[in-house]
Structure 1
Amino acid sequence: MTQLSVNVNKIATLRNARGGNTPNLIQMALDAEKYGAQGITVHPRPDERHIRYSDVYELKEVLTTEFNIEGNPKEEKFIALVLKTQPHQVTLVPDATNQITSNHGWNTIEHKDFLIKMIDKFKEAGIRTSIFVDPDPKIIEGAKETGTDRIELYTESYAQNFATNKAMAIEPFVAAAKKANELEIGLNAGHDLSLENLRYFSQNIPGLLEVSIGHALVADALYFGWENTIRMYRNELT
């Protein structure tokens, strides 16, 4: 069964809007685990506008499920954070500093040498690596050359086109997944996956190991509650 990793960035955004510690990010992450999340994802950015670097250290001390840290390895502070906290997985994302959210994957051909260097560094520390990529078989072939353990498919285009033509929307992701399976690269996915589109995605993507979901899940929790929402997302993956 595909694993659910809950991205808690939006919990941190809400907390930071007023200062203080409400909602309590650490407790929300622990509760997510208790309610069925099989992992916790964070994506710290240099300006710490949501997840703070101190949050990452605190989470590392208490989490019992998989801990996934996303970020841009061009930031020295990010590299140091990952090496010091030793998460189960690091997901490399080519974010610009001023981006609101991730909006593209790596060009694994153009950035091959850089990615090899970074992946080797993290794998030497015993950390599983994943790189954020668009659903392009050539890019996935390039990912194989970097030595990464996994890729994470950037699923925004699927989510945007799902309501119009879900079969067409998922087609490039099926091709990408087949290529990853052929090359024996582990397969993750994330970005704008939701209760509306998650089941169809998970049922049609062969070898899908993990999805990372934050924004939609937290938004749904405003209606359904934290515990119920996590269980609802888990049900979509069964």
Structure 2
Amino acid sequence: MKQNNSTALSVNLNKIALLRNSRPGNFPNVVAHGETCIKAGADGLTVHPRPDQRHIRPHDVYELSELVRSYPAIEFNIEGNPYAESMGDFPGFIKLVQDVRPHQCTLVPDSNDQLTSDHGFDLKIAGEKLRPLIQQLRDIGVRVSLFMDPDIEQISLAKEIGADRIELYTGPFAEHFKSQSDFFKKLFARYHGAAAHAQAIGIGLNAGHDLNLDNLGHFRQVPSLLEVSIGHALTVDAIAMGLVPAVQAYKKLCIE
């Protein structure tokens, strides 16, 4: 398993799409911005399509897949609610994944009307329903990651039902990072322990949600962090810094 001296940076393009969708037309161009991120040093691109198409739309998924094929070293990650069904011209989440066959699919316990992802799976409840779906995706060559809280028992269950990786939900870490309180230290110890457990049982480790230039370096102290997916903070930083310098700044934190 890849060691912690380097972590892949996957740039989430949702907020670029959200800005585009605020006006008619195709400005800013999501695919063009994705290519800019790749050329600036990103290791992958992430999208989170939702049935309401508030940001990423199905055509973005297909077009970005074509873009990534032109860059063999770059990975495409599609994340979302595995049970999101077709709605209007949204074909359904699993249909999108089956059509595109990305390098990785990150399954997230979202509801259709959820503002953003804010918790991991409870696999004591969801595990057996997810198991055949995970196998179905793996059978077509897609690596499967599950969005999870830093809970050792739950991570063991992710391994048992066939997931290749987990993505630790880092929202609570980010929320309490600036406090550096005893509570934060105990919380980070949970993340560190969860990462060490993932390493010990042989399941890959990703992370994402509210990671930024201030807290990413600290989070990278967890063992064997393979990939971080960052969108909102990177897009906000790009307003002040420019997109290329923002990607480069995050990439630097991922390889130091």
Tell me which interval the TM-score lies in, with the shorter structure as reference length: over 0.9
Q: Following TM superposition, by how much is the alpha carbon of 1:168 offset from its aligned partner in structure 2, in angstroms?
A: 3.3
Q: Which residue of 1 aligns with 2:81?
A: 72
2:38 counterpart (33, 40, 60): 33
Output the amino acid matched with 2:45. Answer: I
Match of 2:62 in 1: 57
Amino acid at match of 1:234: K
How high is the sequence identity, in percent, across the aligned residues? 50
Partner of 2:101: 86
Query: 2:232 is matched with which residue: 200, 215, 236?
Result: 215
Equivalent residue number for residue 209 of structure 2 = 191
Partner of 2:164: 149
Alignment partners' CA distance in 2, 1:119 and 1:33: 28
User: SS state of the match for residue 27, structure 2?
Assistant: coil
For 1:6 and 1:167, the matched residues in 2 are separated by: 28
> Which whole-Å CA distance do the structure 1 matches of 2:133 and 2:176 have between them?
33
- The structural deviation recorded for 1:169 is 3.7
User: Counterparts of 2:188 and 2:130 in 1: how far apart (Å)?
Assistant: 27
Question: Which residue number in structure 1 is paired with residue 244 of structure 2?
Answer: 227
Compare 219-228 and 159-168 and name the one that shifted more: 159-168
State the shift of 1:223 in Å.
0.3
What is the match of residue 133 of structure 1? Answer: 148
5+ long unaligned stretches in structure 2: 1-5, 86-91
Q: Match of 2:28?
A: 23
Partners of 1:212 and 1:184 in 2: CA distance = 21
**Candidates 161, 164, 169, aligned match of 2:176:** 161
- Letter aligned with residue 83 of structure 2: K
Higher relative contact order (CA 8 A, sep 6+): 2
The letter of the residue matching 2:66 is E
> Does the 8 A contact of 1:5 with 1:40 survive in 2?
yes
Q: How many residues align?
A: 237
Q: For 2:125 and 2:137, how far apart are their aligned partners in 1? A: 20
- AA partner of residue 98 (structure 1): D
The separation in 2 between residues aligned to 1:137 and 1:183, in whole angstroms, is 10
Matching residue's letter, 1:20: G
Q: Distance in 1 between matches of 2:186 and 2:8?
A: 25
Counterpart of 2:14? 9
Instruction: Give the letter for the 2:20 counterpart.
Output: R
Question: 1:200 matched to which residue of 2?
Answer: 218
* CA deviation vs aligned residue, 1:169-218 (integer Å, no higher than 9, x gap): 4111101101101110000000000000000111x110100000000000
Displacement of 1:158: 0.3
CA contact (8 A) 1:162 1:169 kept: no
**Is 1:180 the counterpart of 2:184 in the alignment?**
no
For residue 167 of structure 1, report the CA deviation from its aligned partner: 3.0
Q: TM-score of the superposition, structure 1-length normalised? A: 0.98
SS of the aligned residue for 1:4 comes to strand
Q: Distance in 2 between matches of 1:228 and 1:169?
A: 31
Cα distance between partner residues in 1 of 2:161 and 2:170: 21
SS of structure 2 residue aligned to 1:113: helix
